[in-house]
Structure formats: structure tokens, C-alpha cells
Structure 1
Amino acid sequence: MGSRANRVGERWNLMGYEEKSSVIQEEIKRVSKLPSNSVYAVHRLKVLNKINELLSVQRTLSQEKELELLFTQLSL
């Protein structure tokens, strides 16, 4: 990971559940306004929904790492 990704990962780790959930919900709203045939929007919504799913369940260590990686790749 580059330094920007490290900063994003650190920011993610400092957030509480409510803040993480709020950030993801806001991004879902934003992306939902994009054209439905946009490959970018479809992919981004898949990633956001995966993050949302992982946030809502008790996670294993590997799922926690996956969640952090997905978030850092979104660069929110």
C-alpha cells in the first residue's frame, strides 16, 4: 500500500461503526445517482454493498482485513 492508502486505512481504523456506516451510506447515495449503465457505478456499488455486508456482521480477522482493504481502495 502507498502512503495515501495507509492514511485512508488509518482513518478507517479510527472510525466507529456509526461513522463507517454513515460514510458508506452517503457514498451509496452518491453513486446511485450515476447512470445505471455506468461500469464504474455498477462496480462501485458492488464494493460498497460488500463493505456494508461486512460491517453488519461479526467479522473474522481475514474479513476485517478485507473490509479495510476495500475501504482503502475506495479512497473516500
Structure 2
Amino acid sequence: MGSFEQFKGTGHVNDQTMEEAGTSNPRAQRKQMGYEEKTAAVHEEMKRMNRLPATSSYVTHRMLVLNKILQLLSIQRTASQEEELESLFAGLSL
């Protein structure tokens, strides 16, 4: 199904299509990951970033995003914070 068909009729995109329901979909995998797995993935990415030059604007931005993810993981989240967390994870491709 093309992206236009996903928007048509409902006004929004479904979270998951039938094809995405498998484990090959990163978003579905993130939803299945628990707190510990998500935190571990973020810490591993932080370790990777620490091996890169600290003066890099890419590293600086990515570390800010990773720290925001850790902050959101550590609190009781509202629906909008849950969406923000999912969006941050999607943007990082963790």
C-alpha cells in the first residue's frame, strides 16, 4: 500500500501494517523491547559516540538526543512524551 492510501480515509497512518508486524520492523522491535533493553541500547550508542571526536557537531547533537531518551525512559511518561520517545528512537535507528 502506498503512502497516499495510508492517509486516505483515516487522516493518519496506521502504526503497523500487516507486513510490519514481523520482527524485521525496527519500530515493532522497539515496542517489544523492555526498559532494560532500550537503556542498554542507548548506553551502547553513547559508548560509540564517545569514541568519535568530541568537537563533532554530529556527536554533540546525538549525545543530546541520547540523554533526552534516557530522561524520558526514567520517568512516568504522558502520551505525548511516549510519542516523543518513539520519535527519538526512530530518528536514531537504534
TM-score of the aligned structures, taking structure 1 as reference length: 0.88
Match of 1:13 among 31, 44, 67: 31
Match of 1:47 among 52, 65, 87: 65
Distance 2:66 2:73 in 1: 10
Choose between structure 1 and 2: higher helix proportion: 1
- Pick 1 or 2: higher relative contact order, CA cutoff 8 A, min separation 6: 1
Alignment RMSD, CA only?
A: 1.4
Partner of 2:85: 67
Q: Unaligned stretches of 5+ in structure 2?
A: 1-12, 14-19
Partner of 2:6: none
Q: Unaligned stretches of 5+ in structure 1?
A: none
Count of paired positions: 72
